[in-house]
Amino acid sequence: MEDFLARYGFLFVTILQQALLGLSLYLPLMAGQLSLASIGFYSLGGYVAAIMGTHPALAPLRDALGFYVYPLEWLVALAASTILGAALGYPALRLRGIYLALATIAFVQVFGVVVLNMPIAGGAIGIFGIPQPFENRLAYVWFFGPLLVLTLLFLWRLERSGTGRLFFSIREDELAAGAMGVNVTARKVQAFVLGCALAGVVGAMSAPLLNTWNARQGTFDAAVACLAYVLIGGRRSKWGALLGAALLVSLPELLRPLQNSRMILNGVVLVLACIYMPQGIAGLFARRKA
């Protein structure tokens, strides 16, 4: 058992973490908006936590707060990503479909280069030696687990609220929703900012987990991986991101005996899943409506 936990504890925590990132993509998708910006905010949140955790000028604050410095990091990351998310969302959400997706990729790329050029972010090496609250990596379940449960509860409530229904109405038909008097832009920005805020907090929790933080945390590849969780898991259900992350994060691990060819097989699974499960894994369980 101990051996099992040592080996798969990190994997389990990674699944929760990646599922949360998938959910940060699911939020704008609820309003029909395909955004890949999450990974940029994940990176931002991570930098906030990394700087707060290591910057010498903040040592008195850390000493005074003890463990409570971590929740403070989450709050600061939440505030920073909400502000930046709103600043990005208002102009960007005039764009539709693939244009929005590409604009958000552009944002991720620009953000990566800007961060690389900021001395406080440690350049290409990044920030290392970020203090870790737990010795065992499995213990980070106490960070990501409650956040995941809270997020799922929030989504459950949101889906049944007026706001959630407005999101869905935009997803189903933006023009019709607008014609019915829905303030389409405001709702889209709202869904987008919620996703950004979540991604920022996940980043802030991930910096201690990974111990180092650098510009490689926010790459196009990582953004695409998050999108794959949602699409493979099922993009019309909040469970999709969790199912997709569980499958796609553990897949390379399950295929490890195949060594060099495992990433090839990983690609094969992606293609087959798109062809045979167009509604994702969650779609297989969905009740068929008459």
Partner 1 sequence: MSLAWFLQNLVNGLSIGSVYAVFALGYTLVFSVLGILNFAHGAVFTLGAYLTYVLAVGEFGLNGLLAGMTLPFKLPFALALLAGALLSGLAGVAVEHLAFRPLRKRGADALLALVSSLGVALILVNLIQYLFGAEIYSFPSDVLGTLPPAVILHVGEGLVAMRTIQVVLFGVSLLLLIGLAWFIQFTKQGKALRAVAENPDTASLLGISVDAFILGTFFISGLLGGLSGTLIGVSFGLSGPYFGVAYGLKALAVIVLGGLGSIPGAVLGGLVIGLAEAFLPPDMSSFKEAVPYALLFIVLLVRPQGLLGKNAEEKV
Binding interface with partner 1 (CB under 8 A): 34, 91-92, 94-96, 98-99, 102-103, 105-107, 109-110, 112-114, 116-117, 175-176, 179, 220-221, 224, 227-228, 231-232, 235, 260-261, 263-264, 266-271, 274-275, 278
Residue closer to partner 1 (CB basis): 38 or 206: 38
> Cα separations (Å) of 40 from 67, 221, 281?
26, 12, 27
Give me the least distance between CB of 277 and partner 1, in Å please.
9
123 vs 133, beta carbon nearer partner 1: 123
CB of 269 to partner 1, least distance (A): 8
Distance, CA of 129 to CA of 54 (rounded, Å): 7
The sign of the torsion formed by the CA atoms of 171, 175, 178, 179 equals: negative
* Shortest distance in whole angstroms from residue 132 CB to partner 1: 30
Q: Which is nearer to partner 1, 33 or 206 (CB)?
A: 33
Nearest distance from C-beta of residue 96 to partner 1, angstroms: 8
- Alpha helices (H) along the chain: 2-30, 38-54, 59-65, 69-92, 97-116, 141-160, 162-172, 174-179, 184-210, 220-233, 238-254, 262-276, 280-285
Q: What are phi and psi of 127, to 5 degrees?
A: -110, 130
Q: Copy the structure tokens of residue 274.
A: 């798109």
Rg of the chain over CA atoms, in angstroms?
19
- Specify the residue, 104 or 206, whose C-beta has the smaller distance to partner 1: 104
Helix spans in 31-96 (H): 38-54, 59-65, 69-92
Q: Which amino acid is at 89?
A: G
CB of 47 to partner 1, least distance (A): 17
Decide whether 92 or 202 has the Cβ nearer to partner 1: 92
Q: How far is the CB of 228 from partner 1 (least distance, A)?
A: 6
In the bound state with partner 1, the residue whose beta carbon lies nearer, of 65 and 116, is 116
User: The tokens 């493979």 sit on which residue?
Assistant: 232
Residue for token digits 């709702």? 187
Residue with smaller CB distance to partner 1, 97 or 129: 97
Q: Diameter of the chain by CA atoms?
A: 63
The least distance separating partner 1 from the CB of residue 176, rounded to whole angstroms, comes to 7
Q: How many CB atoms lie within 10 A of CB 18?
A: 24
Nearest residue to 192 (alpha-carbon basis) of 19, 20, 37: 37
